[in-house]
Amino acid sequence: MFFNPLYFIFLSPALLLMAWAQYRVRSSYGRAMQIPAPLSGAAAARYILDHAGLHDIEIQPTQGYLSDHYDPRGRIVHLSAEVFHSRTMAAVGIAAHEVGHALQHARGYLPLAIRSIAVPAATFGPTACIVLFILGALLHSVPLMGLGIAAYGGLLIFEVVNLPVEFDASNRAKRVLSGLNIVDAQGAIAVRDVLNAAGWTYVAATLQTLLTILYYVFILTGMSRNDRD
């Protein structure tokens, strides 16, 4: 059931889109890393935050490749070592994107608050789905399997809400980098390419979750039909 070739047929559009998006991220990031910037990623983040009056938000380096993120609970912008230290357009673009989330938080951006509420459903939903779906299959219980699919829907809700959050953060980053003259016209193009490519990975992930749910619904519908025959 879980290794049915039909599963990969269902997911093929999302898998192809994700492969294309990841290729775009790697290529655009590689190009933007070759274009110098007047500030490092950390310095650009600090400059933008201070300009917005957010002096209390910290900026800290973190381990991992492109592991950059904003922690709303600790009010900390975490930047990967390469982004933190590099004086390149890729670094300032990614740093500005994470600062965009800090600006959303400070301005009370509603989709960000909704996304925070949906985090538990996104974290535990897929695991609950697998457990309930397997139990339902073993017990031949269609309602139990349906409950598992509903649990997986928590991840879809999170990812759908996450799309405007990520795109808005990127748009804020593009505007503020140009508005504060951190990037020139060439740099703005490089930043746009990196952030737009990253945005497509979120779209692909959302599509993959949707198609996974449709696959499970298809399996469940087939079982229900067999029960009636």
Q: What residues are annotated to the active site?
A: 98
Strand 76-80 to 69-71 pairing:
antiparallel
* Pairwise CA distance, residues 167 & 112, whole Å: 11
Partners of 58 in the β-ladder: 76
Neighbour-count burial for 106-129, b at 16+ CB within 10 Å, e otherwise: beebebbebbeebeebbeebbebb
Residues 111 and 168: beta-carbon distance below 8 Å: yes
> Which residue has 């804020």 as its token pair?
172
**Residue 109 has what DSSP assignment?**
-
Q: Strand, coil or helix: what is 38?
A: coil
